[in-house]
Structure 1
Amino acid sequence: MRFEFIILEWSAYADGLTRHDDWLRWAKGFPQLPRPLVETVPALAEMPAMMRRRVDRLGRLACQVAYWCQSPAGAPMVFASRYGDATRSLALLGDLVQGQPLSPAGFGLSVHNAVSALYSIAQGHTDNTVVVAGGRASVAAALTEAAALLADGAPEVLVVYYEAPLPDGYAEFEDEPACEYAWAWRVARPGTSGQNASPALSLELCGDEADGIADPGTAGWPAGLAVLRHLLQSIALRDITAPAPLLRHDRAGTSWRWSAHA
């Protein structure tokens, strides 16, 4: 199973990394994860104040990159996160243990589609929105959903991916380095009119013994950052060389082979 995309536009946010130039230097350099927590949370000035006050810090990262990478009216969206807002969910469980009544607003904002809903309401977006959680393979699951939407006739899809470290009560269950970050891509089918110069990305689901290169610098990274770096390397090094295909084992029994070129 193979999917191919072109990236019409991209944006990303992590600690000390917000501008395109920052991210391209990061992609060209020695593999290094951003710091675990963002020191400066985005102001999210694009969102109306009454709506903005309901968005937590992880939601602000996700909404900010979505605003920076905004799709035309009517384009479907895919939001994806392995854990979503686990901090808010754990706080609600603590209230239950203590016999406290649950806040309806707190509960409504803890569900996995809350961030996409807030962004959609603020944007007046009424088209299809899919929200995905697929464990370590959440990035591949998000792009698979985007491929399905494109195959169904969508001219392009906005994909928003975001993660944050688990709160203290859940931290012992972390199985990969924890980092707070978000990115957004506007993706379309190859050959879209007037977009031949856009960077391209292919995603292939393979058997567990697939041939490819598991980048030793990013093998233990969360897939969201490893795949972002792989794409940005193709942009940063376009005049030198294309990065070798990236092989990821983010789902038991299968491999994902990512190939990017500018």
Structure 2
Amino acid sequence: MRFEFILLEWSAYADGLTHHRDWLRWAEGFPQLPGATVETVPALTEMPAMMRRRVDRLGRLACQVAYWCEAADDAPMVFASRYGDATRSLALLGDLVQGQPLSPAGFGLSVHNAISALYSIAQGHTGNTVVVAAGRASVAAALTEAAALLADGAPEVLVVYYEAPLPGHYAEFEDEAACEYAWAWRVAVPGHSGYPGRDASPLLKLELSVDESGGAANPGTAAWPAGLAVLHHVLQAIAVPQATVPEALIRHDRAGSQWAWSAHA
């Protein structure tokens, strides 16, 4: 399977990295994983106060990058995260173990589509929203969903990806570097009427194939979560467009398969 997109707009948030210039400077140098947790959580002033009170730490990161990368009215959206708001969900499981009653509000905000729902309600968005969780391959699954929506006729799709380290004793189950971050992309079909052409916007390619070799992922970002590795690869192509085009980013985030990502500014 092969997919192509143009990147109309992007935004991202991690520890010490909020503005475009910060991220592009980060992408230019030797890859370094951002801090495990964000020191300053976004204020999310774009969201009405009564709604904002219901959005927790990870939700603020996800909603903030979505606001910064706001899509056209009722354009489809894809929200994706491997674990979502695991802190809230695992706290509810702890209450169950102790025989405590569950908070209806807490339960409602713990489901995997809660963050996208809060953002949609605040924005008055009534279009299609897909929420994805696919383990280590969640970012690839998110872009696959976006490709399907574009193929179905959507002029553009807003993709929002967000992650946070597993809390407390559950951290021992981490199988990749833990990091708190979020990013958003507005993507469209290359050459779509009314949108920039290939020379004006970065062109992204994603290919899924059977992994027969069991080869290793790219050095430098091999142990990174796929969401950050892919973001770094794409921003590198934007930050140094005159340099040699980076080799494709190869990921083996799902047994028996290989994801190849390439980006051209």
TM-score clears 0.5: yes
CA distance, structure 2, for counterparts of residue 150 and residue 65 of structure 1:
21
Matched residue, 1:258: 261
Whether the 8 Å contact between 1:212 and 1:257 is mirrored in structure 2 is: no
Amino acid at match of 2:236: Q
Candidates 226, 229, 233, aligned match of 1:230: 233
CA distance, structure 1, for counterparts of residue 85 and residue 74 of structure 2:
27
Whether the 8 Å contact between 1:213 and 1:246 is mirrored in structure 2 is: no
Whether the 8 Å contact between 1:77 and 1:130 is mirrored in structure 2 is: yes
Matched residue, 2:163: 163
CA distance, structure 2, for counterparts of residue 27 and residue 138 of structure 1:
22
Matched residue, 2:247: 244
Shift, 1:209, TM fit: 3.4
**Superposed CA RMSD:** 1.3
Matched residue, 2:196: 195
**Secondary structure class of the residue paired with 1:182:** strand
CA distance, structure 1, for counterparts of residue 73 and residue 28 of structure 2:
34
TM-score by length of 1: 0.98
Which structure 1 residue ranges, 5 or more long, are not aligned?
Answer: none
Matched residue, 1:28: 28
CA distance, structure 2, for counterparts of residue 94 and residue 169 of structure 1:
12
CA distance, structure 1, for counterparts of residue 184 and residue 251 of structure 2:
20
Question: CA-to-partner distance for each residue in 1:178-226, whole Å, 9 max, x for gaps?
Answer: 0000000000001123411100101000121379983200011000000
TM-score by length of 2: 0.97
Matched residue, 2:183: 183
Matched residue, 2:220: 217
Matched residue, 1:74: 74
Moved more, 2-11 or 188-197: 188-197
**Secondary structure class of the residue paired with 1:186:** strand
Matched residue, 1:54: 54
2:87 is equivalent to residue 87 of structure 1:
yes
**Secondary structure class of the residue paired with 1:162:** strand
Matched residue, 1:138: 138
Moved more, 194-203 or 115-124: 194-203
Whether the 8 Å contact between 1:215 and 1:247 is mirrored in structure 2 is: yes
Whether the 8 Å contact between 2:216 and 2:252 is mirrored in structure 1 is: no
Shift, 1:240, TM fit: 1.7
Shift, 1:6, TM fit: 0.3
**Secondary structure class of the residue paired with 1:251:** coil
**Secondary structure class of the residue paired with 2:109:** helix
CA distance, structure 1, for counterparts of residue 191 and residue 213 of structure 2:
28
CA distance, structure 2, for counterparts of residue 113 and residue 210 of structure 1:
36
Amino acid at match of 1:230: H
Distance 1:100 1:143, change over 3 A: same
Moved more, 232-241 or 57-66: 232-241
Distance 1:87 1:211, change over 3 A: closer
Question: CA-to-partner distance for each residue in 1:87-107, whole Å, 9 max, x for gaps?
Answer: 001110111111111000000
Moved more, 236-245 or 17-26: 236-245
Matched residue, 1:45: 45
Give the share of equivalent positions with the same residue, in percent.
82
Count of residues paired in the alignment = 262
Question: CA-to-partner distance for each residue in 1:136-190, whole Å, 9 max, x for gaps?
Answer: 0000000000000000000000000000000113111100010000000000001
Whether the 8 Å contact between 1:80 and 1:139 is mirrored in structure 2 is: yes
Distance 1:143 1:45, change over 3 A: same
